[in-house]
A and B are shown apart, each in its own frame.
Chain A
Amino acid sequence: MKRILALLLATGLVLSGCGKSDTSSTASTPAAAPTTAAPSAGARKLVIGLLPKAKGNGYFVSCAKGAQEAADALGDTLIFDGPTNDDAGKQNEIVDNWINSGVDVIAVSAENKDGLSTALRQAEAKGIKVISFDADVQPDARTFFVNQATPQGIGYKLMDEAARLCGNSGEFAIITATLTADNQNEWKKYIDEDLAKNYPNMKLVDFRPCDDDTAKAQAVATTLMSAHPDLKLIMAISSKAVPGAAEAVKQAGKIGQVHVIGLGLPSENKDYVHAGVTDSVILWKTEELGALTVQVADALAKGTLKPGDKSFTVGDKTYTIDGDNVLLGEPFVFNKDNIDQFNF
Chain B
Amino acid sequence: MSASTHQSGGAKAVFRSHEFILFVVLVAEWIFFYFAGTSKNYSGATVGFGTLDAQFDIMRHSCEIGLLALVMTPVILTGGIDLSVGSVLGFSAIVFGKLWRDGHLPIDIAMLGALATGALAGGLNASLITWLRLPPLIVTLGTYSLFRGLAEAVAHDGDTFTNFPASFINLGNERWLGVPEQLPILAVVAIAVWLLVHRTTFGRSFRAIGFAPEGARYAGLPVERRLALAYVLAGTVAALAGIIYTARLGQAKADDGTGYELFAITAVVLGGTSIFGGTGSVHGTLLGVAAVAVLTDGLSLAHWPREAGGVLTGLLLILTLTASVLPKMLSNRRSHRQTGPSTPQPSPPSP
Residues of chain A touching chain B, judged by Cβ–Cβ distance below 8 Å, are 1, 3-4, 7-8, 11-12, 14-16, 18-19, 22-23, 26, 32-39, 44-45, 55, 79, 81, 83-89, 92-94, 96-97, 99-102, 112, 114-115, 117-119, 122, 180
Contact = CB atoms under 8 A, between A and B. Distances in A.
B98 interface: no
B303 A81 contact: yes
Contacts of B135: none
Interface of B: 12, 15-16, 21, 24-25, 28-29, 32, 36-37, 39-42, 45, 47-49, 51, 53-54, 57, 60-61, 64, 157, 160, 162-163, 169, 172-173, 245, 248-251, 253, 255-256, 258-259, 297, 300-308, 310-312, 315-316, 319-320, 323, 326-327, 330
A198 B177 CA distance: 65
Nearest to B90: A88
B25 A32 contact: no
B25 A33 contact: no
Main secondary structure on B side of the interface with A: helix
Contacts of B16: 4
Contact of A112 (B12, B15, B160): B160
Contacts of A84: 306-307, 310
Contacts of B326: 7
A44 B43 CA distance: 9
Contact of A100 (B24, B53, B248): B53
A336 B312 CA distance: 44
Contact of A87 (B248, B259, B323): B259
A81 B306 contact: yes
Contacts of A86: 255, 258
A105 to B, nearest CB: 14
Contacts of B25: 8, 11-12, 15
Contacts of B249: 88-89, 92, 112, 114-115, 118-119
Nearest 3 CB-CB pairs, A to B? A102-B47, A118-B250, A115-B249
Contacts of B173: 118, 122
B327 A4 contact: yes
A80 to B, nearest CB: 9
Given A32-B305, A83-B306, 4 more contacts: A16-B28, A33-B303, A118-B169, A118-B249
Contacts of A35: 302-304
Contact of A15 (B41, B245, B312): B312
A96 B61 contact: yes
Given A7-B326, A19-B36, A180 B157 contact: yes
Contact of B32 (A16, A85, A87): A16
A15 B32 contact: yes
Given A89-B248, A93-B297, A100-B51, A33 B21 contact: no
B266 to A, nearest CB: 14
A272 B67 CA distance: 51
B253 A19 contact: no
Contact of A117 (B21, B49, B54, B250): B250
Nearest to A118: B250
A26 B309 CA distance: 13
A22 B300 contact: no
Contacts of B297: 93, 97
A18 B41 contact: no
Given A4-B15, A18-B312, A97 B300 contact: yes
Contacts of B316: 15
